[in-house]
Amino acid sequence: MDQKQSQNNEAPPPWQRFKLLLGIVVSAELIVILVTLLAGNTVSGTELAASVVRILLVALSGWFLLVRDTAEAVSQVKSVSSIDSPQVASEEEVWPNIDKLTHTSNQRGLTIHMLEMMALAERYHHKLSVCMIKVSGLIALSDEEREEVLISASVLLSEMVRIPDKVGRYDETLFMVIMPEADYSGASLVAGRLHTSLNNDIGEKATISMGVAEFEPGDDLQRLLARAQESLDNELKGDKE
């Protein structure tokens, strides 16, 4: 019942209002002419022309209002559509710290976590180590095969590290494991197990090299990563020899 009443109370569409207004004006002009004739008077051509002009003026005014109301209605529909259909955010915007391929931390996420862990290690004298894992020898593989190897490596690393450790893809073929509460000796043991497992899993398609460095009081990020990179470079040289 309320719905019917609300529908009845709604204003008619612009074109219906236009037709109604035009009909009223035409009817009024015809009534005036008819009354004049019934009174025995004649209607001159000038009076007929004036009636036609008035009707045309009303028609033009109504048409202008109809076009304006239609344009406003279309604009409102577009505005509502833009509100109801917001732009879809890209994956990078939604997950800025996650690598798109492996779904582990990316370089940004690893850097943020590393800085947090370094601050804690510095303040509370905790141990902290980092392990770099280089997956090389992928040039001969297709793009799809390279991606499969990198995904396999990330899955295996994520499954084998300790609960507090953080795994991520630091560069194109370079992974990193951040190891809180691990000194160089403990991190090297973990790295050895990871190396063996990776070789067993993807060793036929890739060469695995690792470098380990332990955080020292007063280290900044560049210094710690430089030592890890130096350790990795030494192993890469050994692999080539």
The model's pLDDT over 19-78, given as tens digits with 9 standing for 90+, comes to 666 666 666 666 766 666 666 667 666 766 666 666 666 666 666 666 666 666 666 655
Angle at 110 between CA 109 and CA 113, to 5 degrees: 85
The residue with tokens 């976590």 is: 113
Q: Measured on CA atoms in the order 129, 213, 118, 122, is the torsion positive or negative?
A: positive
The model's pLDDT over 110-138, given as tens digits with 9 standing for 90+, comes to 999 999 999 999 999 999 999 999 999 99
Contact 174, 136 (CB under 8 A): no
- Residue 61: name the closest of 18, 97, 24 by CA: 18
Token readout for 38 is 């019934």
Backbone angles phi, psi at 183, to 5 degrees: -85, -175
Q: What DSSP element (H or E) covers 170?
A: strand 166-171
Contact 224, 113 (CB under 8 A): no
Selected residue with higher pLDDT from 73 and 212 = 212
The model's pLDDT over 135-160, given as tens digits with 9 standing for 90+, comes to 999 999 999 999 999 999 999 999 99
DSSP 132: E
Token readout for 223 is 């210094």
Mean pLDDT computed over 186-209: 97
Ranking 5-19, 23-37, 94-108, 205-219 by mean pLDDT, the lowest is: 5-19
CA dist., res. 238 & res. 241, Å (int): 5
Q: Which residues lie below 8 Å from residue 236, measured CB to CB, with a gap of 6+?
A: 134, 136, 209
- DSSP letters, 137-183, are --TTS-HHHHHHHHHHHHHHHHHHS-TT-EEEEEETTEEEEEEET--
